[in-house]
Structure 1
């Protein structure tokens, strides 16, 4: 009998035979259901160890709908997509989410877009979607599958999910622009991305509103996120050849900011005395650049942790915990520290 069992997977039926109870009783004990006596529970658990039974996670998830796994999907074009080669913000979100998931006894599955994997149904209890776009098709698909969803950043223009981790991007942009104005900046350019997520849309609106209220000339241009530093460099070269040229450029990402500094160097424009450069998202690229770049720390690790906490609350049928919106922190560095600001 033991040799036969070793040649196949030990089943719940084997446990029932070894314990001298019904399959239903074994199922109730293992799933902590029913009203089995303590003596019966002991018999079943001893039989489990004796025959070497180990539950099949896939089969269990089919019965209970509980996989013990949370999913996370990153939506921006320059975010993590099938690898860990992405922006630092998204890597920090993934790290914070993974740490929180493990602390609650869950695994975290970094998923490619569900739209590109129709033939693979990933078993997850719930999903975090990072920076969804307007009417995001990934959210549509997950909600159609009736999977609980939490977003990090709202879906721009709608509110289709029960859970949200928000960030005050308006305050972040204002703090950055106040700093640039204090250095003497009067002609501003915002080199934004082309993705239409709430981070970029709200940042652009805040940029325009601030400039109007301060009577400062401000222009917004867009660069594809996937073009990276080189795309930003080409756009910045063209912008810096205009008259009058910008005296401060805000870049959506640190990669864009490095391209802008390269463009300025190629045209003989000094940073920061003639051109201040800052980024809306901090990273090692900004901190470690030969001219360290002023940037906003978006606290991705906290956003990831909060996302898991809200999702688990949803899974437990609770009203999600209200988290205060993440406030970006301004990290002032050499790229904007002009000492001889003029009026």
Structure 2
């Protein structure tokens, strides 16, 4: 039979009320008492009844996370970081996929009856735009992730896209590279990761006195390995000369690297490469992939913390806030100077 509150209380040597207080994350509980209760919960495999908990406290202890697609490694690793950050705060995470930029699906998520199972939502749209900001004016705690909407009615946790892309490009320039291709551009995009990172790339070129050459921009629709590979084939077939490449995410960079090596080009001797996102797989590619760490762990921790604040306070008097994570250039073999 499933363990009950009474079983946990007996195992921990506390009252049923104390166990309930620990589960509901009440503040004024001694650390040693909380630890005993949590150990008893783990030992017995106790799982709170979310429906009953919701009726008693108005909260479920569950938050939602809506991301475009878990097949993109960045969002899979972001989800993992969110789950870890939530667990530290005694929260569980319900994950939804929005379909990789499907605006209708994203709007549907904001109206989904499944939100009744959660206390709030972390939401990372790709299909919505600034014109859709009014849809974020909802009656439940919501924290926005990503770069599609700025100045909206909700808290927003984002990364330094322009500055970090400028740093990635400047890193290649510091290695003596002057003809830097970029893979992952979206035609006509201004707001959004691709548009912002292209702006950072152009700023770094301008600061170094290097003219921007549109022929060096490889455009894609999506940011999967296949798109990076296709974009790099097109750049090579065009005959444009380049001695470095900035992949707008690691997945694109890894796909492009494969094509470069198939073409007999050496990395980094012939073409230095840097990506973006600091995915775990980049540590094990051959060569290992230089990249930008955009502060994914900080983004996850900040987003969960801010959402929990909104859940606890339900305070509409605090205006929407914007948080920007710190980034770091990580040099590995793909951009290291030969020799």
Q: TM-score, normalised by structure 1?
A: 0.70
Does 2:168 align with 1:169? Answer: no
Partners of 1:106 and 1:55 in 2: CA distance: 12
Q: 1:179 Cα shift?
A: 1.4
Q: Paired residue for 2:220?
A: 223
- For 2:236, the equivalent position in structure 1 comes to 240
Q: C-alpha separation between the residues in 2 aligned to 1:63 and 1:138?
A: 35
Give, in angstroms, the shift of residue 71 of structure 1: 0.7
Q: Distance in 2 between matches of 1:99 and 1:138?
A: 30
Stretches of structure 1 that go unaligned for 5 or more consecutive residues are 1-30, 32-53
**TM-score between both structures, scaled by the size of structure 2:** 0.70
Mapping 1:1-343, distance limit 5 Å: 57-58=50-51, 61=54, 65-75=58-68, 79-80=69-70, 85-87=71-73, 89-113=74-98, 115=107, 120-122=113-115, 123-130=117-124, 132-135=126-129, 143-144=137-138, 146-156=139-149, 158-192=150-184, 194=186, 198-216=192-210, 217-218=212-213, 219-225=216-222, 228-317=224-313, 319=318, 325-339=324-338
Q: How many pairs align?
A: 277
Partner SS state of residue 203, structure 1: helix
Once residues 133 and 166 of structure 1 are traced to their aligned partners in structure 2, the CA distance between those partners, rounded to angstroms, is 16
Per mean C-alpha deviation after superposition, the further-off stretch among 97-106 and 130-139 is 130-139
Bigger Cα Rg: 1
* Separation in structure 2 between the aligned mates of residue 139 and residue 121 of structure 1, nearest angstrom: 22
Check conservation: 1:250, 1:277, Cα contact below 8 A.
yes
How much does 1:141 deviate? 5.2
Q: Give 1:254 shift.
A: 1.8
Contiguous gaps of at least 5 residues in structure 2: 1-23, 25-46, 99-105
CA displacement, residues 262-316 of structure 1 (integer Å, 9 cap, x when unaligned): 2212222222111111101221321111111111112322211110111111222
CA distance in 2, matches of 1:220, 1:102: 42
Q: CA deviation at 1:207?
A: 1.2
DSSP-derived class of the 1:121 partner:
helix
Contact 1:240–1:246 (Cα < 8 Å) also in 2: no
CA distance in 2 between partners of 1:56 and 1:190 (Å): 51
The structure showing larger relative contact order (alpha-carbon pairs under 8 Å, at least 6 residues apart) is 1
Indicate the SS of the match to 2:283. helix
